[in-house]
Amino acid sequence: MHRAADGGLARVRVPGGRLRAEQLHRLADLAVDLGDGALELTSRANLQLRGLAEGAELDLGAELAAIGLLPSRTHEKVRNIMASPLGPGDLVAELDTAVCAESELAALPGRFLFALDSGAGDVAWSRADLAALPVGDRAALLIGGVDHGIRLAVDQVVPAMVACAKAFLRVRDEQWRIAELPDTSVIVAALVDQEAQGQPFEARIPVTVSPTERVTPGTPPTGGPIGPVVFADGGLGVGAAVPLGRLTAEQARALGDVVITPWRGVVVRGDLPELGLITDPSAPGIGVTSCAGRPHCHKALADVRAAALAVSVPGRAVHWAGCGRRCGRPAGDVLDVVATTDGYLVDGRAIPGERVAEAVAQGRQD
């Protein structure tokens, strides 16, 4: 738990964004009993509770463990797994369990990210350290966002990711991410040169390395599924954006099983009740995100949530931040709005506070 100006801030990791109804409803109760009454969705499809009193983390931790959301005290910070919201998510639990079972992986930096892409290409390029992306009946393993031609059977994705994460820990110095390493060949070698690495034959992970085949790199999408959706298994559902990423307890209690998306939205199977969530892809609230801002964060120079809500023009994704740290900024092409001591920077351009709504409206439509 971090301390913020409005109390304790606790992040609850939700691998793959998959939450069962009973977990979501209990989280809603905890947000009311211990926090400020809302669940905040993060750009990694996790949840945050804020406004927690001193010491509330003890009750919260016990409650989260009881509903299966704190399976490992040692590995909590490294359970960072994103998955395509409409995909099967079938490897999420297997990867989570495998990461938690390796004691040395508790030392992974908290920013290290695994991504399991269904083939939609929606999470593979989202700055993950290790990402699996289906190619035909096999999976490409992207290392530090780069396709080195490594191809695996789908049932080898989890052991390959664990092997690469361990290799990263062996070679990292101060780096937090694989892409920051001066040379990622050691990570690649953990799979392609297992013999040279002294891996016993029976423990080797079968991989093939294509000399030429490479997946065309994609860009991280700035928006998730909105409106009617079809899941990878053919099931129908609805995707919705959560205004400014804050799901109220009442909204959470009215939902069933959900998938939280990395675009601060939810996807549900079947129908979505009318809850004030955004299901119109052309609505002004689509693509609008904000950090906590004033009065919730000590560093904030402005009430950016209020400022964001005052602009009702749809268009390009926009992220409002109360200072230059830009917490919670989504990946990809996003209009950057950063509060300063005398106004805002809108995509780096200084704008007085009284003109920021106009500048953002124009920036969203450019």
Residues within the interface to ligand SF4 (CB under 6 A): 291-293, 297, 299-300, 321-323, 325-327
In the complex, what is the shortest distance from the CB of residue 228 to ligand SF4, in angstroms, rounded to a whole number? 34
Q: CA–CA separation, 286 vs 222, rounded Å?
A: 10
In the complex, what is the shortest distance from the CB of residue 241 to ligand SF4, in angstroms, rounded to a whole number? 20
Judged on CB neighbours under 10 Å (0-12, 13-18, 19+), 360 is buried
Residue 21's SS3 state is: helix
In the complex, what is the shortest distance from the CB of residue 108 to ligand SF4, in angstroms, rounded to a whole number? 23
Residue with the CB atom nearest ligand SF4 in the bound state: 322
In the complex, what is the shortest distance from the CB of residue 303 to ligand SF4, in angstroms, rounded to a whole number? 10
Residue listed under structure tokens 């998306």: 261
Burial readout 149-171 (b: 16 or more C-beta within 10 A, e: otherwise):
bbbbeeebbbbbbbbbbbbbeeb
Q: Which is nearer to ligand SF4, 134 or 322 (CB)?
A: 322
Joined tokens for residue 206: 């079968």
34: which strand partners? none
Contacting residues for 122 by C-beta, under 8 A, at least 6 apart: 84, 85, 221, 224
In the complex, what is the shortest distance from the CB of residue 151 to ligand SF4, in angstroms, rounded to a whole number? 40
Which one, of 205, 191, 86, 206, lies nearest residue 147 by Cα? Answer: 191
Q: Which is nearer to ligand SF4, 168 or 320 (CB)?
A: 320
Q: Which is nearer to ligand SF4, 30 or 302 (CB)?
A: 302
Give me the amino acid identity at 158: V
Q: Which is nearer to ligand SF4, 5 or 254 (CB)?
A: 5
In the complex, what is the shortest distance from the CB of residue 300 to ligand SF4, in angstroms, rounded to a whole number? 4
Residue 126 burial (CB count, 10 A): 23
Q: CA–CA separation, 267 vs 272, rounded Å?
A: 9
In the complex, what is the shortest distance from the CB of residue 345 to ligand SF4, in angstroms, rounded to a whole number? 12
Q: CA–CA separation, 60 vs 78, rounded Å?
A: 19
Q: Interhelix angle for 21-34 vs 56-66, to 10°?
A: 170
Q: Which is nearer to ligand SF4, 216 or 341 (CB)?
A: 341
Q: Which is nearer to ligand SF4, 93 or 327 (CB)?
A: 327
Q: Which is nearer to ligand SF4, 115 or 300 (CB)?
A: 300
Q: CA–CA separation, 175 vs 359, rounded Å?
A: 37
